[in-house]
Structure 1
Amino acid sequence: MRHEIEGTGVPQAQLLWRKVPLDERIIFSGNLFQHQEDNKKWRNRFSLVPHNYGLVLYENKVAYERQVPPRAVINSAGYKILTSVDQYLELVGNSLPGTTSKSGSAPILKCPTQFPLILWHPSARHYYFCMMTEAEQDKWQAVLQDCIRHCNNGIPEDSKVEGPAFTDAIRMYRQSKELYGTWEMLCGNEVQILSNLVMEELGPELKAELGPRLKGKPQERQRQWIQISDAVYRMVYEQAAAQFEAVLSKLQLARPAMEAVIRTDMDQIITSKEHLASKIRAFILPKAEVCVRNHVQPYIPSILEALMVPTSQGFTEVRDVFFKEVTDINLNIINEGGIDKLGEYMEKLSQLAYHPLKMQSCYEKMEPLRLDGLQQRFDVSSTSVFKQRAQIHMREQMDNAVYTFETLLHQELGKGPTKEELCKSIQRILERVLKKYDYDSSSVRKRFFREALLQITIPFLLKKLAPTCKSELPRFQELIFEDFARFILVENTYEEVVLQTVMKDILQAVKEAAVQRKHNLYRDSMVMHNSDPNLHLLAEGTPIDWGEEYGDGGGSGGSSGNSGDPSPSVPEAATTSEKQRRAKQVVSMVHDEAGLPFEAGPEVLSPVSLDSVTELRGLLAQDLRAESPPPAGPLLNGAPLRESSQPVATPEASPPASPLRQLPPGKAVDLEPPKPSDQETGEQVSSPGGRPAIHTTTEDSAGVQTEF
């Protein structure tokens, strides 16, 4: 509220941003084999990733087309992707000491091909997939990594108050347990994070209590432990969801009265807080400055350089990919389709930032990030939190560049240019957008570097200062007026003072890098604020539908790649309105039935896996011949499945969806009609209706819906 009143802000972005980036989009679709834990069999599944990044598994492609409810919906927050069974067995063996299988004994999991993909979570259930070729494995790995990256970023970006307050509360709680530094499981939405926090403490206790009581061979005890851990995690999730909602409701009710008091007494509150901060600063500053000078300042340049190199390479790759895609459009207009094909080209370009395969070359640049020698010193358990944050920034900047290009080109098309004039305009707009991208990417990277340096150094400083300073903080409480005690917290003020002691060194290091133009960083003063006001006025118009305006109106918005059909095929009996509601796809791996990716040709197989692969090919052939979905067996989470007796019609309008926080990570959601109060899946009951293919919710004939 103080920032709102005083008007402090950040430099204005030069690029425009899309308000609804993935409205009515499917990110990816294709076939993969999944291991069923109930019967230990591998089954071919038709899978797709909608715009909410929840992996949806159907019995087969026919089941999807006939709108049969999916077998599972997976929220991948907190998961890791493993591409080797040996990696997985090592993690499972470490999760429960004393259960390492002897050499020669049957492992907990056998993969029938050489190309597995395993989703592993420290507490929730695991998911096992396999592909027939290495190329398919690479594609699905990129897609699933995109799902994890998005789901990990579960707290909304526009939550300027509640989100930071929640993460600060989690961090302070862990610090009270002497747990400083970055935490890898601070991912997902609020309920998932709370569940991870509980399991961090409960997991070791469960192992100590139940581990010795597990019976059977090592691999059987491992399997039992995975099931126990998943069951406990779900119980924790349900209780955390209920209690968090109750606390949130209570706080929302109290918020208006608190805001009224703050606005009325803002000057007095600020004066009181600054008085408290000055007293705390006088107490800790000598100790903090010595600590910063001796233990932090010498390492800031090396940390910054380690962050700058891969991050800047990634943003440069984003620029190159964008440049290549626009240049290809220009060449295609000259050599092939002309203006008539512009709608098709632009529909594909508009989805570029969410194309997991084309963006993979950008994301890969972050993988070499290492803080060698510094991770142990600053208690950085993993660099994955920094990698994923930078990758999210890359995706946002790519979409901003694409949307700005779309907006300017759409304005130009209003002048009715010829083909030659259009090509010149595209080149001119491209250069204009790239200049804006260079400035914005510099600003975003500098902000990312500052945040990362604070994330690394502040917990270290707090840990160093805790023995001498923490015990003295309660005596500062008496400096706060009782009426303001709800708004001014001593511990928060103490952390702000610690932050200020190191902030000047961090700002100076980043500023020097910008002055020296390291890695194409710019000084903020190089571009004036509001330097292109007319451009920002253009963004206030209605969203551009390239397929409707410049395409043939029916099938635009297909695959951006060359790996298959633009979208899952529509049955011949489908009405025009149903076809229009079909989601446009970013990329698809769905081929015609004669050429599914798993039938691309004979593979070089090991003798051990030959029978299994033959069985998989037979299963795949059965799926392709299926005229209707087979009777469904048990769901992946063990809940019974009830088939709808009649086909479901697509409704004209979808009911409101439930929030992401209701679905725990790794939850295979029963989408057949459960009881209305099914707390295990966090589902809600709505009015009857079918599953609309283009909306965020997935529904069955009883109207049960789940959204990420």
Structure 2
Amino acid sequence: MGDVVSSHLDESRREMIAARTKDVIKQYSDVYEQQYAVALFNSVRFEIEGGGGTQSQLLHRKDPLAGRSIFSGSLFQYLEENRKWRNRFVSVPNTYTINLYENKTAHERGLHPKLTINCAGYRALTSLEEYVELINTSLPGIKAKASSSPFIKCATQFPLILWHPYARHHYFCVMTEKEQKKWHAVLQDCVRHCNNGLSEDSTVQTPAFTDSVRLYRQAKGHYGTWDMMCGAPPQILANLVMETLHPELRNVIGPRLKGKMQQRQRNWMLISDAVYKQVLSQTTGQYKALVEACEAHRAPLDARLRTDMDQIITSKEHVSNKIRALVLPKAEQLLRTSIQPYISSILEALMEPTSRGFSEVRDIFFRELVELSKNSLNGGDKEKMGDHMERLSMLAFHPVKMQSCYEKVEQLNLEGLQQRFDVSSPSVFISRAQILMRGQMDNAMYTFEQLLHQSLEAQGDDNICKTIQRCQDRVLKKYDYDSSTVRKKFFREALLQIIIPYMLQQLSSSCSPELPRFKELIFEDFSRFLLVENMFEEVVLQSVTKDIMMAVKEAAVQRRHNLYRDSIILTNSDPNLHLLEEAPSVDWANKFGVDEPEGSQGSGVEGRIGGSGRRRKQVVSMIQLDGVPLPYESCLEVPGVELIPEEDAEVSECKEQGEEDEKEVELSQPECPKSPDSVDEIRDLINPMVEMVLPVPEGNHSDLTNGTAPTTGTIIAEDGVQEEVTHVTTLVEDVPRKSLRDKASPQTILRQLVGSKKQEADKERQEEAAIKSAIEELEIAVQEEDSEQIAEASAPESDYDSSPPPPLLLADSSSHEDSGFQSPVNEGLDDSETQPFTNGLNGGNKVIDPVEVEVLLV
């Protein structure tokens, strides 16, 4: 496949791609340098004037995943080089990158991974049908049928696919549906985290970058949200280049591709990945140089801002008023006719799934703490308490447990509004809401940990259940307030992201030609910090902010959304709690002396951190199927679809029952034949042996010797097949018994064994006959006893009691029925007398010695 890439991406075309990338970055750099100065001005002004929103009630953890990893396990990866599936050990550290190793040993030795995947911009899929729909849009004019299969054939029916519009696709599969759901939750969490890669802590670089991307795309005519605004800045810039470069290359290279439809699609994806790698490497270096150049000029700009802040603010207000007089009438007319009628419907579409998601977060938090209280009430020791708290501390970062919350928000649907307001898809808002939900869960759990630790330090471990309940109630009240505040802020930002681009697009044609004349009103010394384009957007923003605030305020009154009104909430109802925010995270393992088992949920081994020897704890437990070891650890090829074990629903149900039920299931289901593992097992298959152990009295030990005697005869096995007997092996053990009448030869033993096998073959029929005979005998005995009682009514009662009851013997010597009934066959026998074991090949009864016998069958 390298020939396909090199033939279509020759040196001249690569030079064209490099020149196009350089040109885009040059245009973007001019915008970034301007926005960097504006962002610095806003940051310094905020620092001087202060302000900000309401203070949160919950505590914030600074580095929640320190010393943690997310997940590790084994799955099958499709290698495009040789088109084969290989087993790989996968590790997901706290950076949410996916590292693939050849096997687990390579990971434990600290070797470099064979592949590292940054999930920014990807989508995690679980069906080939969905993947076919996406790749059908990769090349124009090439459409596959809905039932057609892609160019890969999955080794199992549980695929996992990472799809990217520009970069290489990754194909995995697992063996069970349970594994697929867990891996899919982990992959989605990796994508979600990497798509939220811009740090909000940087008050200058982050707003400068986002505003520059938005203004650059608006200059190209692209308003509204952008799905590829995800990942680190170099990745976003690469997506910015590929937004225009990718369609051009596709139109040029696509018609020249040869082969079948699937082959052309596969070749185009390889070419697209090669182009994306080239563009990404170029944007990484150029963005780094751009940031370094801007940071070098930050100190003199900061000094000028702090010196002339008052004059700059006054100048900005003067120019803004002039722009407002021009823009505001047009903006208000647009609001009345095209926006205000839709604000309530947009807000409703956002609030319903988001509120359900945050309610689910609260319910999961509550259920986990109730489970913690139950364990303490049921006499759980401190070690269990510490282990439970260790797992709860990472609840927010457990993608499987948080999946139900995330699924609530994924129901967000803006259909009907997307075309009107140029919203590409609701994925931007879904991802943002999920990140906020995870943050609220972590804040709630961290606050609970600090409160519980403080209470235990002050009151001790006595009555710990009441302590947990008291801390839980405090945290839930604070969560209700904080989740309301976070949701209202999210709704306002989402409305602005939907409405403002639409307004700018509608107003730009009439207002943009008038904006250059306002530049003359700005002093030259302040021109770097005051840009007319930014002030125009601020005026448009201010025009619609009042309507958005009123809409959110009215929605807060409705109880079904579980929102608080700002007027009834104190800014900080618990000031003493925030003193705990600077305290370090509680180490519950050391506090309660917990020994962390390897592979346990929340504390699995994930390598070592920086060679310090401290073990890295794992958030999600590794998947271990009962009876199925981690397969193909040596990275062998997948042997075939039919040889990959799958989890059986019936077996999983049996595991939940008791040991007695398991034994019954095992007895009712015959064991599947397995391949022999040694030479002895192979010999046993060729020459099977039947063992029969019979006791021998101590007095006859001298007459018996260990050894094998050749003989001839036949025997009927349990399955009814007649087998020939070639040897009889005698083994003697010391078992005290009464003396026997006679000593048997190997021929007699063989005849006895044959008869015993025949009797076992007729076991069911004999048992049924014996039970029927015993029932008839019992009826006769009851009738005779009644007649004797009537005839001997005058006899003393003591005479009747002194007569011994008839002995209860087995109905048949070959039957193991323990019914307790007397059979006519056994009448006259005394239990105290030892009866010889008799049997014969032809039905004749001969006395034999019970000995231990091995019979070789051929």
Flag whether TM exceeds 0.5 (same fold).
Answer: yes
Q: Please show how residues 270-669 of structure 1 align to structure 2 within 5 Å.
A: 270-419=313-462, 421-555=463-597, 558-560=600-602, 566-568=603-605, 580-591=613-624, 594-596=627-629, 612-614=640-642
Is the CA contact 2:606–2:618 (under 8 Å) kept in the aligned structure 1? Answer: no
Instruction: Give, as a single letter, the amino acid of the residue that structure 2 aligns with 1:113.
Output: T
| Counterpart Cα distance in 2 of 1:313 and 1:347 | 27
Out of 98, 107, 115, the residue aligned to residue 72 of structure 1 is 115
| Counterpart Cα distance in 2 of 1:279 and 1:508 | 27
* Structure 1 stretch displaced more, 531-540 or 346-355: 531-540
Give a deviation string over 1:663-683, Cα, whole Å, max 9, x none: xxxxxxxxxxxxxxxxxxxxx
Q: CA deviation at 1:105?
A: 7.8
For 1:602, the equivalent position in structure 2 comes to none
* Structure 1 stretch displaced more, 55-64 or 391-400: 55-64
Q: CA deviation at 1:475?
A: 1.2
Q: CA deviation at 1:514?
A: 1.7
The 1:162/1:458 distance shift into structure 2, 3 A limit, reads same
The 1:210/1:418 distance shift into structure 2, 3 A limit, reads closer
Is 1:87–2:130 an aligned residue pair?
A: yes
Instruction: Give, as a single letter, the amino acid of the residue that structure 1 aligns with 2:551.
Output: A
Q: Please show how residues 192-207 of structure 1 align to structure 2 within 5 Å.
A: 192-207=235-250
Out of 211, 225, 233, the residue aligned to residue 190 of structure 1 is 233
| Counterpart Cα distance in 2 of 1:373 and 1:554 | 52
Instruction: Give, as a single letter, the amino acid of the residue that structure 1 aligns with 2:429.
Output: F
Give a deviation string over 1:110-164, Cα, whole Å, max 9, x none: 1122211111101000000112222211111111000000000011121223212
| Counterpart Cα distance in 1 of 2:241 and 2:318 | 37
Instruction: Give, as a single letter, the amino acid of the residue that structure 1 aligns with 2:258.
Output: K
Out of 242, 258, 282, the residue aligned to residue 239 of structure 1 is 282
The 1:139/1:58 distance shift into structure 2, 3 A limit, reads same
Among all aligned residue pairs of Structure 1 and Structure 2, give the percentage whose two residues are the same amino acid: 60
Instruction: Give, as a single letter, the amino acid of the residue that structure 1 aligns with 2:640.
Output: S
| Counterpart Cα distance in 2 of 1:256 and 1:170 | 24
The 1:51/1:422 distance shift into structure 2, 3 A limit, reads same
Instruction: Give, as a single letter, the amino acid of the residue that structure 1 aligns with 2:465.
Output: C
Is 1:10–2:47 an aligned residue pair?
A: no
Is the CA contact 1:113–1:130 (under 8 Å) kept in the aligned structure 2? Answer: yes
Is 1:114–2:157 an aligned residue pair?
A: yes
For 2:254, the equivalent position in structure 1 comes to 211
Q: CA deviation at 1:103?
A: 9.1
The 1:501/1:105 distance shift into structure 2, 3 A limit, reads closer
Q: CA deviation at 1:471?
A: 1.6
Is 1:153–2:186 an aligned residue pair?
A: no
The 1:557/1:128 distance shift into structure 2, 3 A limit, reads closer
Give a deviation string over 1:489-531, Cα, whole Å, max 9, x none: 0000000000111110000111111234441111223232232
Instruction: Give, as a single letter, the amino acid of the residue that structure 1 aligns with 2:487.
Output: R
Instruction: Give, as a single letter, the amino acid of the residue that structure 1 aligns with 2:504.
Output: L
Is the CA contact 1:314–1:362 (under 8 Å) kept in the aligned structure 2? Answer: yes
| Counterpart Cα distance in 1 of 2:555 and 2:180 | 40
| Counterpart Cα distance in 2 of 1:251 and 1:418 | 56
For 1:658, the equivalent position in structure 2 comes to none
| Counterpart Cα distance in 1 of 2:457 and 2:539 | 55
The 1:255/1:538 distance shift into structure 2, 3 A limit, reads same
Instruction: Give, as a single letter, the amino acid of the residue that structure 1 aligns with 2:125.
Output: L
Give a deviation string over 1:266-295, Cα, whole Å, max 9, x none: 111011111111011100111110001111
* Structure 1 stretch displaced more, 590-599 or 210-219: 590-599
| Counterpart Cα distance in 2 of 1:258 and 1:534 | 39
Is 1:168–2:205 an aligned residue pair?
A: no
| Counterpart Cα distance in 1 of 2:210 and 2:513 | 23
Give a deviation string over 1:532-585, Cα, whole Å, max 9, x none: 12111122223211111113355499414xxxxx52488xxx9x9979522101
Is the CA contact 2:599–2:605 (under 8 Å) kept in the aligned structure 1? Answer: no
Q: Secondary structure at the match of 1:57?
A: strand
- Taking structure 2 as the reference length, what is the TM-score of the superposition? 0.67
The 1:304/1:375 distance shift into structure 2, 3 A limit, reads same
Q: Secondary structure at the match of 2:212?
A: helix
* Structure 1 stretch displaced more, 220-229 or 387-396: 220-229
Is the CA contact 2:605–2:617 (under 8 Å) kept in the aligned structure 1? Answer: no
Is the CA contact 2:386–2:589 (under 8 Å) kept in the aligned structure 1? Answer: yes
For 1:28, the equivalent position in structure 2 comes to 71
Is the CA contact 1:325–1:349 (under 8 Å) kept in the aligned structure 2? Answer: yes
Instruction: Give, as a single letter, the amino acid of the residue that structure 2 aligns with 1:355.
Output: H
| Counterpart Cα distance in 2 of 1:365 and 1:426 | 29
Out of 185, 190, 194, the residue aligned to residue 142 of structure 1 is 185
The 1:569/1:376 distance shift into structure 2, 3 A limit, reads closer
Is the CA contact 2:97–2:190 (under 8 Å) kept in the aligned structure 1? Answer: yes
Gaps of 5+ in 1: 561-565, 600-609, 619-708
Q: Secondary structure at the match of 2:188?
A: helix
Is the CA contact 2:158–2:175 (under 8 Å) kept in the aligned structure 1? Answer: yes
Is the CA contact 1:568–1:590 (under 8 Å) kept in the aligned structure 2? Answer: no
| Counterpart Cα distance in 2 of 1:85 and 1:519 | 38
Larger Rg: 2
The 1:532/1:586 distance shift into structure 2, 3 A limit, reads same
Is the CA contact 1:314–1:363 (under 8 Å) kept in the aligned structure 2? Answer: yes
The 1:545/1:86 distance shift into structure 2, 3 A limit, reads same
Instruction: Give, as a single letter, the amino acid of the residue that structure 2 aligns with 1:127.
Output: H
| Counterpart Cα distance in 2 of 1:338 and 1:177 | 65
Is the CA contact 2:605–2:616 (under 8 Å) kept in the aligned structure 1? Answer: no
The 1:411/1:569 distance shift into structure 2, 3 A limit, reads closer
The 1:7/1:103 distance shift into structure 2, 3 A limit, reads closer
| Counterpart Cα distance in 1 of 2:146 and 2:441 | 49
Q: CA deviation at 1:247?
A: 0.7
| Counterpart Cα distance in 1 of 2:377 and 2:643 | 50
- Taking structure 1 as the reference length, what is the TM-score of the superposition? 0.81
* Structure 1 stretch displaced more, 87-96 or 480-489: 87-96
For 1:222, the equivalent position in structure 2 comes to 265
Asked which structure has the greater RCO (Cα within 8 Å, sep 6+), the reply is 1
| Counterpart Cα distance in 2 of 1:299 and 1:106 | 42
Q: Secondary structure at the match of 1:543?
A: coil
Give a deviation string over 1:263-322, Cα, whole Å, max 9, x none: 111111011111111011100111110001111111111111111111011111000100
| Counterpart Cα distance in 1 of 2:611 and 2:201 | 33
For 2:89, the equivalent position in structure 1 comes to 46
Instruction: Give, as a single letter, the amino acid of the residue that structure 1 aligns with 2:470.
Output: R
Q: CA deviation at 1:445?
A: 0.2
Q: CA deviation at 1:34?
A: 0.7
Give a deviation string over 1:188-225, Cα, whole Å, max 9, x none: 01011000000001001101221122222222221111
Q: CA deviation at 1:65?
A: 2.5
Instruction: Give, as a single letter, the amino acid of the residue that structure 2 aligns with 1:547.
Output: A
Instruction: Give, as a single letter, the amino acid of the residue that structure 1 aligns with 2:589.
Output: G
* Structure 1 stretch displaced more, 212-221 or 250-259: 212-221
